[in-house]
Structure 1
């Protein structure tokens, strides 16, 4: 039971909570995969990818915080526990050990394609349920699409 009361109906709050929780899981896992790649990337483009991955981690962590705080503001708990992320993520898996720069680029293109698709579903789900949360999801998705574009440009 939350001590925060929302102006949303129970149905709209539940719809929005589901969208925000899904986004939170994706964003936390994106930050974790980004850091894993940051530590283990090698190859000709090591330095630029190493720095780019730090930017991704920072952006994903900031977005996750925004999403979690919005969930709390509408009267639901945010769940960023490791077990929750592991059980609910649909991010592509990153393999253990060193990973070539070209593999990192491919992995992140796949990850962004997947996350952006789910974020667009959440945007649609919150359109009438909670336009404020929808606006937050739209802004985060715009940033994810920018990052996706930058990875795709590396393959051109």
Structure 2
């Protein structure tokens, strides 16, 4: 099925933008599932604080996936969000922490956020030249993801506000 023409974007640019968005869609779907996994499997004395913190994070990321998928469709593409596609096209290892304490999960989740935010920033740089509408969408998402990472890090920080090594 051919893509719909996009006003103001040549076909090659629109395709490049759709490809970048699809890669980010996969990452956001993976993050959404990972956050829910941590929500279900975190244990220990601070369990309830982390458990309750993560549901709003899941909902925020779920909104991002919808926004990115709809942007792909708006640009004439076909967003793919099936589990098989996500698993087969991601370029990072699966989150491998199962039931574990708060610190173990949050350290692993902090690493997930580092990778995802870094990749979002790289895509933002590319989109600044290709499509300012998509660029602005990622600026807003990155701001929210950094805030979520700050919440995770605040749970990990010691009394001096330093993160464990």
Would the TM-score normalized by the shorter structure come out above 0.5? yes
Matches within 5 A, 1:134-145: 134-145=135-146
- Which whole-Å CA distance do the structure 1 matches of 2:61 and 2:34 have between them? 11
Matches within 5 A, 1:1-156: 1-2=1-2, 4-7=4-7, 8-95=9-96, 97-156=98-157
Determine if contact 2:26/2:81 at 8 Å carries over to the other structure. yes
TM-score (ref. length: structure 1): 0.93
Determine if contact 1:28/1:64 at 8 Å carries over to the other structure. yes
Task: Give the paired residue count.
Answer: 156
Distance verdict in 2 for CA 1:113–1:92, change over 3 Å = farther
Distance verdict in 2 for CA 1:91–1:44, change over 3 Å = farther
SS in 2 for 1:126: helix
Determine if contact 1:72/1:78 at 8 Å carries over to the other structure. yes
Higher RCO (Cα < 8 Å, 6 or more apart) = 1
SS in 1 for 2:129: coil
- Which whole-Å CA distance do the structure 2 matches of 1:42 and 1:85 have between them? 27
Shift of 1:91: 4.8
Shift of 1:98: 1.2
1:91-123 CA-partner distances (Å, limit 9, x unpaired): 553336412111111011101100001001110
- Mark the runs of 5 or more structure 2 residues left unpaired by the alignment: 158-165
TM-score (ref. length: structure 2): 0.88
Shift of 1:88: 2.0
1:29-65 CA-partner distances (Å, limit 9, x unpaired): 0010111111111011110111111111111111000
**Aligned-residue CA RMSD in angstroms?**
1.5
Determine if contact 2:5/2:11 at 8 Å carries over to the other structure. no
- Which whole-Å CA distance do the structure 1 matches of 2:3 and 2:93 have between them? 36
- Mark the runs of 5 or more structure 1 residues left unpaired by the alignment: none
